[in-house]
Amino acid sequence: MRYAFLVAWREYAENVKTKGFWIGIFIFPFLILISFSAGGWLEKTKPVRYFVLVDQSGDFEAPIESALERLHQREVFKAFGSYMRAHAKNGGARADIDLEQVPAIDPEEALAKWGGDNPELLERFIEDGGLEAALAQVQPLLVEDAPEFQEPRRPFQRAPLPAGIRADAPPAELAEALRPYLRGEESIEVDGESAELFGAVLIPADIEERVVRPGGVPPLPGSEKLGIQYWSSNLADEDLKDEIQDAADGELRRREYVARGVDADSVQEVQKTHLPFAALNPKKEAGEEAVSMADVIRQWAPMGFVYVLWIGIFTIAQMLLNNTIEEKSNRIIEVLLSSVTPGELMMGTLFGIAAVGLTMIGAWVASLLLILEVKAGPEAEVASELLKVLKSSGLLPAFAMYFFLGYLLYAGAFLAIGSLCNTLKEAQNMMGPIMVVMIVPLFTMNFIPKDPNGTLATVLSWIPPYTPFVMMNRAAADPPFVDRVGTLVLLVVTTAAVLWLSGKIFRIGILRTGQPPKLLEIVRWVRGTG
């Protein structure tokens, strides 16, 4: 055992000296730091989308501009809130967030009900004078050295039609005249500067005659351009298209209400009316059955652990494979085997690389804790609360256990492959079946939490190569005792069997040269007849 420990220490020391190890150590905290600031950086780097709007009907220009202005004011309102929290004299202090007491929120329902913000507060913000009035009111509440508030840029800005293009021309002629600008072949002029035209919105004069009403014949796919025409060569960014379509449809429906003698404001009030709806968990104590945000986090957090588990196991097992092939091809194995037995060499290599993996993951967790402590702001507060939930849910011990067993299971297979091959090219050919097996947990990762005790989850839990991933994904759903204990016992037994088989193959294959052996020859090695 002493020699196995020495081999493990050698493997650990050799790997922690590599550049790849330290890159892996620092890449995770770097990505975490980036994630806190990426939103602001991306917002600053995103270009303003210039568009031209030609409304020959005269009915939709004002509603569209009003909707885009409201979109901008919404961003100003949110940025102003963040500015206040960061520079208020009391340090923006607020009561700690208790996710156990915060009701669970359905994002889709909230988006449909409130449009992504609080309309009452936004309306009051606009009616009271907007940003200028708000800054004047809160100035006494800010610290003396508070920086000047930077208003967010407008995501979309209307541009005038290029010179020589008439707004009263038929839509087909307008579109043809704007093609060079939309393709980037020519530039438009905005406030005396050259700019790129992102999109064009053309509304014909007879747009009212083209309205699609219930009971009518719907337009064929692709014929929507016969109504409002939206031209843009950027097919990925549809934000402007969606905003204009929503604004036009909203104005059209308002006109329909008026034409039918219905008060549009009353309709909006009715649409905001709703019944209180509570999600309750029968597994919680009486009086505390309401589903909280903490409960939702516990339900979905294991999916993140599954992803980290997959990356960790695959990365470390791949490192084990590479080290084995490198030492075999460099004849270092022969020197080592002159001092230790094949079994000691194998176990030392397994646990040495496992220590490397645990060091890397431990460094990731420690860096995450440190960043959450140092980084200020509401995002970090929420992340800290999420971390408290994870610590109290027992997911971290489960992750450590399944990582260790999953690593040993796959590492045994990778180590056997490494002992049979002389080059990475040969190993890649033999790893194909293992990679197919490892892809399945990623495909099912999103489905398991929705039905954690269903047929798919239960069946996959009892297949040892999938047990670490699936049971980790089911950890928050309190799977049956039989599943928890039975799959764990099966995983331990399977892992021991794989390590035993790998040891038989490793003992013979590690000194073998030439072409990798055939399957029947490997079977004879395992049976001890080779």
Q: Which of 415, 322, 321, 313 is nearest to 354 (CA)?
A: 313
pTM of the model: 0.61
Which of these three, 272, 300, 333, is where a domain ends? 272
Strand 193-195, strand 188-190: pairing:
antiparallel
Name the domain count of the chain. 2
For residue 71, give both structure tokens. 């979109």
pLDDT score for 204: 92
Q: Which of 89, 73, 84, 87 is nearest to 128 (CA)?
A: 73
**CA-to-CA distance for 203 and 60, rounded, in angstroms?**
8
* Domain contains 280: no
Contact status, residue 102 vs residue 279, Cβ threshold 8 Å: no
* Domain contains 147: yes
Count the alpha carbons within 13 Å of 20 in the hemisphere toward its beta carbon. Answer: 10
**CA-to-CA distance for 512 and 507, rounded, in angstroms?**
10
Residues 59 and 115 in one domain: yes
pLDDT score for 44: 65
pLDDT score for 196: 92
| CB atoms closer than 10 angstroms to residue 432 | 9
* Domain contains 279: no
Residues 406 and 445 in one domain: yes
- Find residue 157's DSSP bridge partners: 50
- Find residue 290's DSSP bridge partners: 280
Contact status, residue 169 vs residue 202, Cβ threshold 8 Å: no
Question: To the nearest 10°, the Cα dihedral for 397, 402, 403, 407?
Answer: 150
Contact status, residue 195 vs residue 188, Cβ threshold 8 Å: yes
* Domain contains 35: no
**CA-to-CA distance for 217 and 212, rounded, in angstroms?**
8
Q: Which of 146, 131, 176, 155 is nearest to 67 (CA)?
A: 155
Residues 454 and 502 in one domain: yes
Residues 143 and 52 in one domain: yes
Residues 152 and 299 in one domain: no
For residue 221, which amino acid is it?
A: P
**Structural domain boundaries, residue 475:** 2-30+288-527
Residues 260 and 342 in one domain: no
DSSP state of 208: G
pLDDT score for 223: 53
For residue 356, which amino acid is it?
A: V
Which of these three, 215, 248, 272, is where a domain ends? 272
* Domain contains 216: yes
H or E segment at 441?
A: helix 424-444
DSSP state of 209: G
Residues 248 and 334 in one domain: no
For residue 216, which amino acid is it?
A: G
DSSP state of 474: T
What is the Cα Rg of the chain in Å? 31
Task: Give per-residue pLDDT as tens, 215-251.
Answer: 666 655 555 556 889 999 888 888 899 999 999 999 9
Contact status, residue 372 vs residue 387, Cβ threshold 8 Å: yes
Residues 311 and 420 in one domain: yes
**CA-to-CA distance for 292 and 290, rounded, in angstroms?**
6
Three-state DSSP class for residue 274: coil
* Domain contains 20: yes
**CA-to-CA distance for 23 and 315, rounded, in angstroms?**
13
User: What residue ranges of the chain have pLDDT lower than 50?
Assistant: 92-96, 107-117, 376-380
Given its phi and psi angles, is residue 279 left (phi above 0), alpha (psi -120 to 50 degrees) or beta?
beta
**CA-to-CA distance for 54 and 170, rounded, in angstroms?**
11
Count the alpha carbons within 13 Å of 49 in the hemisphere toward its beta carbon. Answer: 21
Residues 347 and 401 in one domain: yes
Task: Give per-residue pLDDT as tens, 278-296.
Answer: 777 777 777 776 766 666 6
* Domain contains 39: no
Residues 350 and 479 in one domain: yes
**CA-to-CA distance for 195 and 188, rounded, in angstroms?**
5
Which of these three, 245, 272, 299, is where a domain ends? 272
* Domain contains 283: no
pLDDT score for 7: 75
Residues 217 and 86 in one domain: yes
Distances (CA, A) of 38 to 30, 41, 58, 82: 12, 5, 41, 15
**CA-to-CA distance for 84 and 143, rounded, in angstroms?**
10
**CA-to-CA distance for 201 and 232, rounded, in angstroms?**
9
Contact status, residue 472 vs residue 394, Cβ threshold 8 Å: no
**CA-to-CA distance for 15 and 210, rounded, in angstroms?**
69
Residues 498 and 446 in one domain: yes
**CA-to-CA distance for 296 and 284, rounded, in angstroms?**
14
